[in-house]
Amino acid sequence: MKTFSSAALVAIAALTLAAPAQAAKGDGGNEVTLHIEAEAAIPPDRATLTIALTGSGETEAAALSDIHAKQLALATELGGAGVAFDAIKPGEAIKSEAADEAMTDAETPCAMIPAPASPKKAATPKRADCPAPPPKYSYNAATIVTVADLSQLAKIQAIQSANGQSNYGYWNGAHFFAADPAAAAKAGREQAIAKARKEADGYAAALGCHVVRMTRVTNASPPFGMRDLHSLIGYADYYSDRMAPSFYGSATYVTVGIDYVIAPN
């Protein structure tokens, strides 16, 4: 699998993070129009984890009892770690076909191995020790856990690792999201606009000018923005279980473009 070099990522980031600032003469005297683009990212504040458990037994009832007991024990452990009761969603127990296949393999006669030879007696084969047969019935069930305090995420992930793994490969990691997307977008807009004004003031001061007014505002994103960069890093790091790509890829991004009019002091 191809990966991106750090130099390439730095180059992409440099192109992306440099907010365009363009100045042009305005219609009034020495006034100049300054175009600023700014972006804000509001990090996610929630995460979900999938914990898959397996129960087994010599009968279906025993296997179901085992999986339900493990789900109860898991919920108790999560509650002790501070997870709210309504944030734990045990899934339906589903019968596994793997146990049936394992039983078929186990029923195959064990191999015969030769007994140690002695000078006076010819070696005769003897039956090899057979492994214990697997349980006849097996059930799987996934529990979805919502983490409301991300500072507790590592603790919950440790419980996940100790109890089981999801069957979804890369998605064993946490899935991040915003509890209130509208509030996150509002905060992003406010931060992006404030960032744009601060940058406009900086350009104006460097030119010996001051900001007079705004003439145009747009929410259009640049051709390649921070959201795209983080997605690119996430795909390049697809098989990693690290937090960063998923975390930043789930942030709420807001871009703003504002035309300011500046004039000499």
pLDDT at 71: 93
Q: What is the pTM of this model?
A: 0.63
pLDDT at 144: 92
Triad 169, 13, 238: Cα angle to 5°: 10
Around 155, how many Cα atoms within 13 Å sit in the side-chain half-sphere? 14
Q: Which residues of the chain have pLDDT under 70?
A: 1-29, 98-135, 164-172, 220-246, 248
pLDDT digits (tens, 9 = 90+) for 181-240: 999 999 999 999 999 999 999 999 999 999 999 999 998 665 555 556 655 555 555 445
**Which residue is associated with the tokens 């789900």?**
71
pLDDT at 127: 55
Nearest Cα to Cα of residue 57 among 49, 48, 66: 66
CA separation for the pair 217, 85 (Å, rounded): 45
CA separation for the pair 144, 129 (Å, rounded): 41
User: DSSP code of 61?
Assistant: H
Contact 139, 63 (CB under 8 A): yes
CA separation for the pair 214, 246 (Å, rounded): 36
pLDDT at 73: 94
pLDDT at 234: 54
CA separation for the pair 213, 260 (Å, rounded): 6
Alpha helices in 59-169 (DSSP H): 60-80, 98-106, 153-163
pLDDT at 10: 41
Structural domains of the chain ordered from first start: 6-43+180-264 (3.30.110), 46-104+125-177 (3.30.70.2970)
